[in-house]
Amino acid sequence: GKVTRASSGKAAMQVAEAGRRTARCAIRALASAQKKWYSSSLPSIASSTGVEPKFNFFPSAQSLKVQRATLIPGQGIGKEATDAMVEVFDAAEAPVAWERFELDDSDEVLADNVKQSFASNGVAVKGPFFSPVGSPKRSMNVVLRTELDLFCNVVHVFNFEGLETRHKNVDTVVIRENTEGEYSGLEHEVVPGVVESLKIISAEKSTRIAEYAFKYAVMNGRKKVTAVHKANIMKAADGLFLKCCADVAKKYPGIEFEGMIVDNACMQMTSKPQQFDVIVLPNLYGNIVTNLATGLVGGPGLFPGMNIGASGAMFEQGARHAATQLAGRNVANPTATILSGCMMLRYLKLNHEADRISNAVMAMYKDGGKEYLTPDVGGSGSTSEFVKAITTRLNYD
């Protein structure tokens, strides 16, 4: 009897292990099929050359002989940074014609001519807008994202070769929902001294941003998606966001999924940022974690960002710092804005021009010398000296 029971148990274990192997094979096959489907069905702008990390973005614009793009310099260092980008683009002979609009935050709606330009061009580069504390008006940053329904913000944070930072081997993509959450702008004074602020979380928009995060992970060979939330306290709102992410995760068995409470995520980011691959977050948490992540590996002057929607994409600094105290002093770092322009070029399938420019920029950090780098990254150079060094490289590459 003992021999029979042992044999039966061993056989059961063998059957279970065979079942697990079959399941693992099925998961790998499904993940491979998903990646193949998205790669063939969604336009790719990735390039196999160049130094800085590349992205597959979707939807993607069609390449034209000369592409018109909307340019919104913004405030603070925005004008200097966007002027630097345009100068570098001219030196690289990038086939882009700019439609420039000078905006401020005096209005709470977007001008019709700006809407028409973006609708026609499908792409834009913008500088940051300063949002003063105490002003009752909506930030122009928020106005642009909500009125153009640019629902997804993507920022890739990584180590620049040649730039010394505390953390090494950081390679994290932060994907932020752009249109609701605490930034909905629905606030009112209930009675004197009591203000009510509404946080809007919807299943539709939470699912949309989660779908983007997982599709992005598949298309870019990423292994894990982390949903950051505060569902232990905001059980209904953040609970819904987390549930939508978890539901979407079930469709992508080849991608590891985890939820992480936002305060723990910030602690983990500062102590061991290498553990994060793709992070998907609601609006406010996305803003906080993006700024934290960029600060760990070089600061807001380095990393580009993109806001994407069904109607087009707008490119800008990933951390959106207007840095008004630096404006007009010729010390602002234009790297993030120039690289955001490179992201736009790849979105337009102008990969050759994007590679030339980004290679020249990245080479400045690798071997260009601190005399050309701006003070925020330990250099002694100016904005104009940095740009001149890049254009010189472009002229002789």
Q: Are strands 304-309 and 181-191 parallel, antiparallel or unpaired?
A: unpaired
What residues have CB less than 8 Å from 209, skipping those under 6 apart? 151, 152, 175, 176, 177, 280
How far apart, in whole angstroms, are the C-alpha atoms of residue 258 and residue 239? 14
Here the tokens at position 271 are 């102590």
- pLDDT per residue of the chain (397 residues) written in tens, 0 to 9: 444 444 444 554 554 555 556 545 544 554 454 444 333 333 333 333 334 556 666 666 655 555 899 999 988 888 999 999 999 999 999 999 999 998 876 667 788 999 999 999 999 999 888 776 766 677 777 888 888 889 999 999 999 999 999 999 999 999 999 999 998 778 889 999 999 999 999 999 999 999 999 999 999 999 999 999 999 999 999 999 999 999 999 999 999 999 999 999 999 999 999 999 999 999 999 999 999 999 999 998 999 999 999 889 999 998 866 777 777 789 999 999 999 999 999 999 899 999 999 999 999 999 878 899 999 999 999 999 999 999 999 988 7
Type of residue numbered 351: N
How far apart, in whole angstroms, are the C-alpha atoms of residue 309 and residue 320? 19
Cα 133 off chain centre by:
25
